[in-house]
């Protein structure tokens, strides 16, 4: 049986237009990243109960979620309440989780303010928190009422976080849209950071993710392709964490290196024609992304081998046949 889940997205050029999306909800409780506080009045959220969190990976834990639940209770949030998450992926992951567990589940909506959030984290309903250094170990899948996407937030996004999102944007297009991929490379390599220039590409990428999730919410099949670049990307993040790297790659940058590795393996297996790896290397470099392992590759192979063991000897790996087409096969 084919089960399709509705994933609702709204796109806007103007911060002021969020208000009308909130009209149907009598009680709105905002959980937001303290770094984006300046946006709350611009979004028309003044006067609404609002709870700030320090959006870091260290704070993305069960204690922060518990404190937010306590705040909702103190504010008198009932089962009709809507939690509105305003922030990057850390914030939308936490707030979605809080909405999933508070009073056994209330509604929530996402207003992603980072590029990662707008093309990836704010869409698809994966919510959760970390357990010590293990990412997203507690969580649930719960679809937001809607995800409201406005590129105007990107004006204040730090460069390294913008780069992180660029990698996720490129990843999405490698999955199924070669033309958009080339447009994104051109735009990113021109170092044009004007939010308006990205509107159409963000919308395209967000719709691709929503469509994939709509077909396979629980990641039993198709949704796995979203993990392109993540096998080696996660291994890099793990390595940098255990070596307390002082300037680690962001998640997106690590995924970019992982995609280059995926291209190399795809050529080696004969899934892709020769030249794919070097094309990705050139394109990603032009966009300011890392392309080489920041550590000895052998050590990462050990991490991947460990993962493989944990998965029963095989990993579902996302190979690239060509830009715009991928396939999942055992590694
Ligand atoms: N749920 C999912 O499907 C999914 C998918 C991908 C990533 N994630 C999660 O998302 C997180 C990464 O997302 P992220 O990169 O958005 O992280 P983030 O929330 O930490 O945001 C990155 C940084 O940018 C700041 N920031 C966000 N928007 C800003 C703005 N408009 N102006 C100025 N600063 C701003 C934040 O305070 C933070 O310092 C990870 O925790 C990851 O596990 C979840």
Residue 193: the pLDDT is 76
The region of weakest confidence among 192-201, 223-232, 274-283 is: 192-201
> How many angstroms separate the CA atoms of 325 and 331, rounded?
18
- Residue 211 among the catalytic residues: no
pTM of the full predicted structure?
0.96
**Which of 88, 94, 99 gets mutated to test ligand 1 (max ligand atoms within 8 A of its CB)?**
88
Torsions phi, psi of 292, nearest 5? -110, 150
Looking at the domain covering 9-156, what would its CATH class be?
A: alpha beta
What is residue 119's predicted lDDT score, i.e. its pLDDT? 98
pLDDT at 78 over 50: yes
Q: Give yes or no for a contact between 233 and 295, defined as CB atoms under 8 angstroms apart.
A: no
**Residue 306: pLDDT above 90?**
no
Q: What is the mean pLDDT of residues 64-79?
A: 98
Distance 52 CA to ligand 1 centre (A): 15
- Ligand 1 centroid–CA 43 distance in Å is 19
The string of pLDDT tens digits covering residues 1-13 is 445 678 999 999 9
pLDDT at 135 over 90: no
Q: What is the pLDDT of residue 191?
A: 79
The structure tokens 């055992």 sit at 330
89 CA to centre of ligand 1 in angstroms:
4
For atom 6 of ligand 1, the residue with the nearest CA is: 121
Look at residue 38 and tell me whether its pLDDT is greater than 50.
yes
For residue range 245-272, list pLDDT tens digits in order: 889 999 999 999 999 999 999 999 999 9
Which residues are near ligand 1 (CB < 6 Å)?
33, 35-36, 55, 57, 60, 87-91, 93, 113-114, 116-117, 120-121, 124, 126, 135-136, 153, 156-158, 161, 164, 251
pLDDT of residue 1: 45
pLDDT tens column, 91-125: 999 999 999 999 999 999 999 999 999 999 999 99
**What does each C-alpha distance from 6 to 113, 203, 213 come to in angstroms?**
22, 17, 9
124: its two tokens: 């698809």
Max CA separation in the chain (angstroms): 61
Two structure tokens written together for 205: 């990428």
Beta bridge partners of residue 128, listed in sequence order: 139
Q: Where are the domains of the chain?
A: 9-156, 160-191+220-330
CA 269 to chain centre: 29
**Average pLDDT rounded to a whole number, residues 70-86:** 98
Across the range 14-22, mean pLDDT stands at: 97
pLDDT, residue 244, reads 87
Distance in Å, CA 275 to ligand 1 centroid: 33
**CA distances (Å), origin 289, targets 79, 92, 188, 318:** 44, 25, 10, 20
b/e 249-286 (16+ beta carbons within 10 angstroms → b): bbbbbbbbbbbbbbbbbbbeeebbeeebbeebbebbee
Structure confidence at residue 257 (pLDDT)? 97
State pLDDT tens for residues 176-218: 999 999 999 999 999 777 888 899 999 999 999 999 999 999 9
- Topology of domain 160-191+220-330 in CATH is Dehydroquinate synthase-like, alpha domain (1.20.1090)
């Amino acid at each position: 049986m084919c089960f399709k889940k509705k994933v609702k997205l709204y796109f806007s050029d103007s911060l002021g237009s969020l208000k009308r999306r909130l009209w149907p909800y009598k009680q709105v409780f905002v959980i937001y990243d303290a770094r984006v506080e300046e946006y709350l009045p611009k979004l028309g959220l003044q006067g609404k109960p609002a709870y700030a969190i320090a959006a870091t990976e260290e704070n993305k834990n069960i204690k922060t979620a518990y404190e937010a639940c306590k705040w909702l209770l103190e504010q008198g949030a009932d089962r009709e309440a809507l939690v509105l998450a305003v922030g990057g992926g850390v914030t939308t992951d936490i707030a979605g989780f809080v909405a999933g567990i508070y009073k056994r589940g209330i509604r929530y909506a996402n207003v992603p303010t980072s590029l990662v959030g707008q093309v990836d984290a704010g869409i698809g309903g994966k919510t959760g928190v970390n357990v010590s250094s293990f990412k997203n170990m507690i969580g649930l899948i719960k679809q937001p009422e809607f995800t409201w996407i406005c590129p105007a937030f990107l004006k204040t996004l730090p460069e390294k976080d913008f780069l992180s999102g660029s990698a996720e944007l490129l990843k999405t297009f490698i999955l199924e849209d070669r033309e958009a991929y080339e447009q994104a490379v051109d735009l990113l390599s021109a170092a044009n950071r004007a939010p308006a220039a990205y509107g159409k590409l963000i919308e395209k990428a967000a719709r691709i993710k929503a469509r994939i999730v709509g077909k396979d919410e629980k990641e039993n099949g198709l949704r796995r392709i979203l993990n392109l670049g993540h096998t080696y990307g996660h291994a890099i993040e793990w390595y940098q964490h255990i070596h307390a790297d002082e300037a680690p790659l962001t998640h997106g940058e690590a995924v970019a290196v992982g995609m280059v590795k995926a291209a190399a393996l795809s050529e080696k297996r004969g899934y892709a024609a020769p030249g794919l790896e070097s094309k990705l290397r050139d394109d990603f470099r032009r966009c300011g992304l890392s392309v080489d392992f920041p550590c000895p590759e052998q050590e990462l192979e050990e991490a991947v081998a460990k993962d493989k063991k944990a998965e029963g000897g095989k990993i579902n790996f996302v190979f690239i046949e060509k830009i715009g087409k991928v396939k999942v096969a055992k590694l």
